[in-house]
Amino acid sequence: MRKILAVAAVAALALTGCGRSTDTGTGSTAAASNPADITVGVAMPTKTSERWIKDGDYIKSQLEAAGYKVNLQYANDDIPTQVTQLQDMITKKNGVLVVASIDGTALKGALADAKADGIPVIAYDRLLRDTDAVEYYTTFDNLKVGKLQAESLLAGLEASGKPKPWNVELFAGSPDDNNATFFFNGAMEVLQPKIDDGTIKIQSGETDFKTVATLRWDAAVAKKRMENLLTKSYSDKDVNGVLAPYDGLSRGIIAALKGSGYGAGGKDLPVVTGQDAELESVKSILAGEQYSSVFKNTQDLAKATVTMIQEILGKKTVTVNDTESYDNGVKKVPTQLLDPVSVDKSNIEKVLLDAKYYTADQLKS
């Protein structure tokens, strides 16, 4: 393991052209290196999605296994709650902050306080924007997530045997989440040429990010929009595919489609994509409803984050593999990117069981 990390650090050096050791150094918290003396503050956005519960659990248990104390907080998707939680972590002298934001631009004030106190901040999964107080970022390759979603949408449409042009509708995630733009841009790199050459028709005409975005990743908002699209553009034709960026939204969209007669009486459900391999969506994929998801192994994300914390506090070279992609408006944030995996009915069981993400029992409906 030590060897792999060393190799990764050398690879990071090669990518960046220089060694990155943390420059957080002056605060007494950052200088402490005995894990038992350090509490890591972990700020998570919400428990409404299964994915963040898993993230919190993995981070907490892995940090505790490494000897740290953990202050794990969920903010119920409420921005003022998250700000208060961060301020409390700073007051309590938590030694490092790991932050998965609700709104990536709303935490500037609290993060500036953390920086002033010498507390290193790691952006977790979602980039923290418009601040110089974020030191590092751990996430999955978000552009690739979008590309995988679009490629799977095209594969599903091809496999459906439906004649071209295919009628497709587009959904994006929360506009205040930096990831949502990356997912959408990645997907459009693949889909735009197909729209341009007429293979795909967006019957609603709604293709612009702001129009198709879904505030707070809210399934009820996506369901409502899908219902409106069906009424507005599909009274005399069928929708064949839906780009959905996250499993919660996919399930809302599928509920709207079923409510409108899809999935019964010979009217096929369209190809609907997703992300996160949430258990309910995995079951839906196995049952032939949702077409696909993108699996992001959050055990690995937690592991990368713990490694980063150990390196920062140990004043070692911090392992990153991308120093260009994530400009937060103030700086390019050095990032450790992990690899997302496209899953559909053909591989989902094997991928998730091999990763020990679920047990075989959990996957039984």
Q: Which residues bind ligand GAL (CB under 6 A)?
A: 49, 51, 125-126, 173, 177, 179, 217, 246, 275-276, 296
Of 28, 60, 25, nearest in space to 41 by CA: 60
133: its two tokens: 């107080």
Query: What is the DSSP secondary structure assignment for residue 270, as one 8-state letter?
Result: P
Query: What is the DSSP secondary structure assignment for residue 340, as one 8-state letter?
Result: -
Least Cβ distance, residue 127 to ligand GAL (angstroms): 9
Pick the closer one to ligand GAL by CB: 103 or 289. 103
Specify whether the CB–CB gap between 38 and 29 falls below 8 A. Answer: yes
Least Cβ distance, residue 52 to ligand GAL (angstroms): 7
Q: How far apart are CA 32 and CA 250, in angstroms?
A: 45
Provide the edge-to-edge strand list for the sheet that holds 39-44: 69-74, 39-44, 96-99, 121-124, 136-140, 335-338
Q: What are phi and psi of 294, to 5 degrees?
A: -120, 120
- Residue at 237: amino acid letter: K
Pick the closer one to ligand GAL by CB: 85 or 178. 178
Pick the closer one to ligand GAL by CB: 58 or 246. 246
Pick the closer one to ligand GAL by CB: 126 or 194. 126
Least Cβ distance, residue 248 to ligand GAL (angstroms): 7
Pick the closer one to ligand GAL by CB: 136 or 217. 217
Least Cβ distance, residue 87 to ligand GAL (angstroms): 23
Least Cβ distance, residue 177 to ligand GAL (angstroms): 5
Least Cβ distance, residue 276 to ligand GAL (angstroms): 5
Q: How far apart are CA 272 and CA 250, in angstroms?
A: 7
Pick the closer one to ligand GAL by CB: 46 or 317. 46
Side-chain-side CA neighbours of 4 within 13 Å: the count stands at 3
Q: Are strands 69-74 and 39-44 parallel, antiparallel or unpaired?
A: parallel
